[in-house]
Amino acid sequence: MRSSKLSYLMEDSTQIPILLHDWLAGNDLQFKPLFEYYFPRLKRYTMSYTDDPAISEELAMNVMLKVWQQKSRIATLNDFNSYLFTMMRHETVSMLRRKKTMMTLSSREEEAPATENITETVSYRELLSRYRACLDKLPPRRREAFILNRERGMSYAEIAELLNVSIFTVQNHIAASLKFIRRELHDYADFLMLAAVMLVPMLTEY
Protein backbone atom coordinates (compact mmCIF):
# COMPACT_ATOMS: atom_id res chain seq x y z
CA MET A 1 0.00 0.00 0.00
CA ARG A 2 2.78 2.41 0.93
CA SER A 3 4.62 1.69 -2.34
CA SER A 4 1.55 2.29 -4.53
CA LYS A 5 0.78 5.50 -2.67
CA LEU A 6 4.33 6.73 -3.20
CA SER A 7 4.14 5.89 -6.91
CA TYR A 8 0.95 7.90 -7.13
CA LEU A 9 2.55 10.89 -5.43
CA MET A 10 5.53 10.70 -7.75
CA GLU A 11 3.24 11.07 -10.77
CA ASP A 12 0.74 13.53 -9.31
CA SER A 13 2.39 16.96 -9.18
CA THR A 14 -0.71 18.46 -7.55
CA GLN A 15 0.38 16.80 -4.31
CA ILE A 16 3.75 18.59 -4.27
CA PRO A 17 2.52 21.82 -2.57
CA ILE A 18 0.93 19.71 0.18
CA LEU A 19 4.07 17.64 0.68
CA LEU A 20 6.23 20.76 0.66
CA HIS A 21 3.99 22.49 3.19
CA ASP A 22 4.04 19.48 5.51
CA TRP A 23 7.82 19.15 5.26
CA LEU A 24 8.37 22.83 6.00
CA ALA A 25 5.95 22.50 8.92
CA GLY A 26 8.25 19.93 10.50
CA ASN A 27 7.23 16.55 9.08
CA ASP A 28 10.62 15.36 7.80
CA LEU A 29 9.11 12.15 6.44
CA GLN A 30 7.44 14.20 3.70
CA PHE A 31 10.84 14.96 2.22
CA LYS A 32 11.08 11.41 0.90
CA PRO A 33 8.21 11.70 -1.65
CA LEU A 34 9.53 15.16 -2.57
CA PHE A 35 12.90 13.60 -3.22
CA GLU A 36 11.38 10.72 -5.19
CA TYR A 37 9.48 13.20 -7.35
CA TYR A 38 12.23 15.74 -8.03
CA PHE A 39 15.45 13.73 -8.04
CA PRO A 40 14.88 11.89 -11.36
CA ARG A 41 13.61 15.10 -12.97
CA LEU A 42 16.67 17.06 -11.86
CA LYS A 43 18.88 14.26 -13.11
CA ARG A 44 17.22 14.27 -16.53
CA TYR A 45 17.49 18.06 -16.67
CA THR A 46 21.22 18.14 -16.02
CA MET A 47 21.83 15.19 -18.37
CA SER A 48 21.14 17.55 -21.27
CA TYR A 49 24.27 19.46 -20.19
CA THR A 50 26.59 16.73 -18.93
CA ASP A 51 25.58 13.70 -21.01
CA ASP A 52 26.95 11.68 -18.09
CA PRO A 53 24.51 9.74 -15.85
CA ALA A 54 26.95 9.44 -12.93
CA ILE A 55 27.80 13.15 -12.86
CA SER A 56 24.15 14.09 -13.32
CA GLU A 57 23.18 11.90 -10.38
CA GLU A 58 25.80 13.51 -8.14
CA LEU A 59 24.73 17.01 -9.14
CA ALA A 60 21.06 16.22 -8.53
CA MET A 61 21.93 14.77 -5.13
CA ASN A 62 23.94 17.89 -4.32
CA VAL A 63 20.91 20.06 -5.03
CA MET A 64 18.57 17.92 -2.94
CA LEU A 65 21.07 18.02 -0.08
CA LYS A 66 21.11 21.81 -0.31
CA VAL A 67 17.31 21.89 -0.25
CA TRP A 68 17.37 19.77 2.92
CA GLN A 69 19.93 22.06 4.54
CA GLN A 70 18.18 25.30 3.49
CA LYS A 71 14.71 24.59 4.82
CA SER A 72 14.37 28.07 6.38
CA ARG A 73 15.19 29.71 3.05
CA ILE A 74 12.89 27.38 1.12
CA ALA A 75 10.04 28.43 3.41
CA THR A 76 10.28 32.02 2.10
CA LEU A 77 9.99 31.11 -1.59
CA ASN A 78 6.98 31.76 -3.76
CA ASP A 79 7.95 29.28 -6.48
CA PHE A 80 9.82 26.25 -5.17
CA ASN A 81 9.86 24.47 -8.53
CA SER A 82 11.53 27.37 -10.36
CA TYR A 83 13.99 27.87 -7.53
CA LEU A 84 14.92 24.19 -7.57
CA PHE A 85 15.65 24.03 -11.29
CA THR A 86 17.49 27.36 -11.20
CA MET A 87 19.66 25.89 -8.46
CA MET A 88 20.18 22.80 -10.61
CA ARG A 89 21.25 24.92 -13.57
CA HIS A 90 23.72 26.90 -11.45
CA GLU A 91 25.10 23.70 -9.96
CA THR A 92 25.60 22.23 -13.43
CA VAL A 93 27.20 25.36 -14.89
CA SER A 94 29.49 25.58 -11.88
CA MET A 95 30.56 21.97 -12.39
CA LEU A 96 31.23 22.52 -16.10
CA ARG A 97 33.33 25.58 -15.31
CA ARG A 98 35.30 23.64 -12.71
CA LYS A 99 35.80 20.81 -15.16
CA LYS A 100 37.13 23.20 -17.78
CA THR A 101 39.41 24.85 -15.23
CA MET A 102 40.68 21.50 -13.98
CA MET A 103 41.46 20.40 -17.53
CA THR A 104 43.39 23.61 -18.11
CA LEU A 105 45.31 23.29 -14.86
CA SER A 106 45.95 19.62 -15.52
CA SER A 107 47.65 20.51 -18.77
CA ARG A 108 49.94 22.73 -16.69
CA GLU A 109 50.44 19.94 -14.14
CA GLU A 110 48.71 21.97 -11.44
CA GLU A 111 45.94 20.96 -9.06
CA ALA A 112 42.51 22.55 -9.25
CA PRO A 113 41.38 24.25 -6.00
CA ALA A 114 38.70 22.57 -3.93
CA THR A 115 35.22 24.07 -4.00
CA GLU A 116 32.20 23.96 -1.75
CA ASN A 117 30.26 21.74 -4.13
CA ILE A 118 33.09 19.24 -4.47
CA THR A 119 33.36 19.12 -0.69
CA GLU A 120 29.64 18.41 -0.38
CA THR A 121 29.81 15.58 -2.91
CA VAL A 122 32.81 14.02 -1.22
CA SER A 123 31.06 14.33 2.15
CA TYR A 124 28.03 12.51 0.79
CA ARG A 125 30.16 9.71 -0.64
CA GLU A 126 32.15 9.49 2.55
CA LEU A 127 28.96 9.32 4.60
CA LEU A 128 27.70 6.32 2.63
CA SER A 129 31.09 4.66 2.92
CA ARG A 130 31.24 5.24 6.67
CA TYR A 131 27.63 4.12 7.09
CA ARG A 132 28.47 0.80 5.46
CA ALA A 133 31.63 0.57 7.54
CA CYS A 134 29.51 1.08 10.67
CA LEU A 135 27.22 -1.76 9.66
CA ASP A 136 30.23 -4.02 9.16
CA LYS A 137 31.32 -3.32 12.75
CA LEU A 138 28.01 -4.45 14.22
CA PRO A 139 27.65 -8.01 15.56
CA PRO A 140 26.20 -10.22 12.79
CA ARG A 141 22.79 -10.76 14.41
CA ARG A 142 22.41 -7.08 15.28
CA ARG A 143 23.43 -6.01 11.77
CA GLU A 144 20.95 -8.44 10.23
CA ALA A 145 18.08 -7.13 12.36
CA PHE A 146 18.99 -3.52 11.59
CA ILE A 147 19.18 -4.05 7.82
CA LEU A 148 15.91 -5.98 7.76
CA ASN A 149 14.13 -3.17 9.59
CA ARG A 150 15.81 0.00 8.36
CA GLU A 151 16.69 -0.89 4.78
CA ARG A 152 14.09 -3.52 3.88
CA GLY A 153 11.21 -2.05 5.88
CA MET A 154 10.29 -5.17 7.86
CA SER A 155 8.42 -4.70 11.13
CA TYR A 156 9.83 -5.79 14.48
CA ALA A 157 7.28 -8.61 14.61
CA GLU A 158 8.28 -9.89 11.16
CA ILE A 159 11.97 -9.79 12.07
CA ALA A 160 11.34 -11.54 15.38
CA GLU A 161 9.54 -14.35 13.57
CA LEU A 162 12.21 -14.63 10.87
CA LEU A 163 15.11 -14.70 13.35
CA ASN A 164 13.21 -16.74 15.93
CA VAL A 165 13.74 -14.19 18.70
CA SER A 166 11.46 -11.97 20.77
CA ILE A 167 10.28 -8.53 19.66
CA PHE A 168 12.06 -7.13 22.71
CA THR A 169 15.35 -8.60 21.42
CA VAL A 170 14.76 -7.01 18.01
CA GLN A 171 14.05 -3.65 19.68
CA ASN A 172 17.33 -3.89 21.57
CA HIS A 173 19.23 -4.73 18.38
CA ILE A 174 17.79 -1.72 16.53
CA ALA A 175 18.28 0.71 19.42
CA ALA A 176 21.88 -0.39 19.98
CA SER A 177 22.63 -0.18 16.25
CA LEU A 178 21.21 3.34 15.96
CA LYS A 179 23.15 4.52 18.99
CA PHE A 180 26.39 3.14 17.57
CA ILE A 181 25.83 4.59 14.08
CA ARG A 182 24.91 8.04 15.41
CA ARG A 183 28.04 8.08 17.55
CA GLU A 184 30.25 7.00 14.65
CA LEU A 185 28.73 9.55 12.25
CA HIS A 186 28.40 12.53 14.60
CA ASP A 187 30.50 14.69 12.25
CA TYR A 188 27.85 14.32 9.53
CA ALA A 189 24.77 15.64 11.32
CA ASP A 190 22.99 17.16 8.28
CA PHE A 191 23.72 14.23 6.02
CA LEU A 192 22.78 11.73 8.71
CA MET A 193 19.40 13.43 9.17
CA LEU A 194 18.75 13.23 5.44
CA ALA A 195 19.86 9.61 5.29
CA ALA A 196 17.50 8.84 8.15
CA VAL A 197 14.60 10.11 6.06
CA MET A 198 15.70 8.79 2.68
CA LEU A 199 17.26 5.44 3.56
CA VAL A 200 15.76 4.53 6.92
CA PRO A 201 12.05 4.21 7.78
CA MET A 202 11.62 6.36 10.89
CA LEU A 203 8.36 4.77 11.99
CA THR A 204 8.14 1.04 12.54
CA GLU A 205 4.85 -0.81 12.57
CA TYR A 206 4.58 -3.54 15.15
Q: CA 25, CA 73: separation in Å to the nearest integer?
A: 13
- Which CATH number do you get for residue 191? 1.10.10.10
Could you tell me the CA-to-CA distances from 144 to 7, 77, 150, 174, 186 in Å, in that order?
Answer: 28, 43, 10, 10, 23
Statement: the pTM of the whole predicted model exceeds 0.75: no
- Which CATH number do you get for residue 25? 1.10.1740
- Whether residue 206 is contained in a domain is answered as no
Domain holding 190, by residue range, is 116-200
Spell out the per-residue pLDDT of the chain, length 206, in tens: 334 444 444 456 788 899 999 999 988 888 888 988 998 999 899 888 888 887 888 888 888 888 888 888 888 888 999 999 999 998 888 877 766 654 544 444 444 444 444 444 445 566 677 778 888 999 999 999 988 887 777 888 889 899 998 888 888 888 888 888 878 777 665 555 565 555 543 333 33
Q: How many domains does the chain have?
A: 2
Instruction: Of 200, 88, 92, 89, give the one whose Cα is nearest residue 150.
Output: 200
Residues 105 and 22 in one domain: yes
Residues in CB range of 143: below 8 A, 6 or more apart = 135, 136, 177
3-state secondary structure of 113: coil
Residues 102 and 135 in one domain: no
